[in-house]
A and B are shown apart, each in its own frame.
Chain A
Amino acid sequence: MSNSHFVRTQMLPPQKPPVGETGVIKWMRENLFSNWFNTLLTFLGLWAVYALVSGSAPWFLNGVWTASSVDECRAIIAASAGEGASGACWAMINERWHQFMFGFFDREEYWRPLLAFGLLFVALSPVLYFNLRRPTMIMTAGAGVVLVMLLWAVGTDGWHLSLAAVLMAALAALAWVAPKKLLWVTLAFPATAFFLLWGGSVWAPIGVMLGFGIAVLVWRSLVSVIGVSPAAGVAALTALIWWGFVQGHVTGFLANALPFFSLPAEDSDRFGGFLLSFVIGVSAISASLPIGILLALGRRSDMFLIKTLSVGFIEFVRGVPLITMLFTASLLLQYFLPPQTNFDLILRVIILVSLFASAYIAEVIRGGLAALPRGQQEAADSLGLDYWQAQRLIIMPQALKVAIPGIVSSFIGLFKDTTLVALVGLADPLQGVTKVVKADIAWKAAYWEPFIFVGAIFFIFCFSMSRYSMYLEQKLKTDHR
Chain B
Amino acid sequence: MANAAKMQVTDEVAIQITAMNKWYGQFHVLRDINMTVNRGERIVVCGPSGSGKSTLIRCINRLEEHQAGTIMVDGTELTSDLKNIDKVRSEVGMVFQHFNLFPHLTILENLTLAPIWVRKTPKREAEETAMYFLEKVKIPEQALKYPGQLSGGQQQRVAIARSLCMKPRIMLFDEPTSALDPEMIKEVLDTMISLAEDGMTMICVTHEMGFAQAVANRVVFMDQGQIVEQNEPKEFFANPKSERTKLFLSQILGH
Contacts and interface: CB of A to CB of B under 8 A. Distances in A.
Contacts of B102: 376, 379, 394, 398
A378 B62 CA distance: 10
Contact of B89 (A381, A478, A479, A480): A381
A376 B99 CA distance: 9
B244 interface: no
Interface in B72-129: 82, 86-87, 89-90, 92-94, 96, 98, 100-104, 113-114, 117-118
B148 interface: yes
B237 interface: no
Nearest to B147: A478
A397 interface: yes
A378 B113 CA distance: 15
Contacts of A480: 146, 148-149
Contacts of B86: 384, 386
B118 A385 contact: yes
Given A373-B98, A478-B146, A401 B104 contact: yes
B53 interface: no
Interface residues of A, number: 22
B162 A383 contact: yes
Contacts of A401: 104
Contacts of B147: 478
A38 interface: no
In terms of DSSP, what is the predominant structure of the interface of chain A?
helix
A82 interface: no
A378 B100 contact: yes
Nearest to A382: B94
Given A384-B86, A384-B90, A393-B117, A375 B148 contact: no
B103 A384 contact: no
Nearest to A383: B114
Given A382-B63, A382-B94, A478 B103 contact: yes
B56 to A, nearest CB: 15
A481 B63 contact: no
A285 to B, nearest CB: 23
A379 B96 contact: yes
Contacts of B166: 383-384
B55 interface: no
B245 interface: no
Contacts of B63: 378, 381-382
A398 B101 CA distance: 12
Given A379-B100, A382-B63, A478 B148 contact: yes
Contact of B104 (A379, A384, A397): A397
Contacts of B148: 478-481
A233 to B, nearest CB: 17
B230 interface: no
A209 to B, nearest CB: 29
B154 interface: no
A479 B103 contact: yes
11 contacts: A375-B100, A376-B102, A381-B61, A381-B63, A381-B89, A382-B61, A384-B118, A385-B118, A394-B102, A397-B104, A479-B148
Given A375-B100, A381-B61, A385-B113, 11 more contacts: A373-B98, A375-B98, A378-B96, A379-B94, A382-B63, A383-B162, A398-B104, A478-B104, A479-B146, A479-B148, A480-B149
Interface of B: 61, 63, 82, 86-87, 89-90, 92-94, 96, 98, 100-104, 113-114, 117-118, 146-149, 162-163, 166
Give the 8 A-B CB pairs with smallest separation, nearest first.
Answer: A384-B90, A379-B100, A375-B100, A383-B114, A382-B94, A384-B89, A478-B146, A479-B148
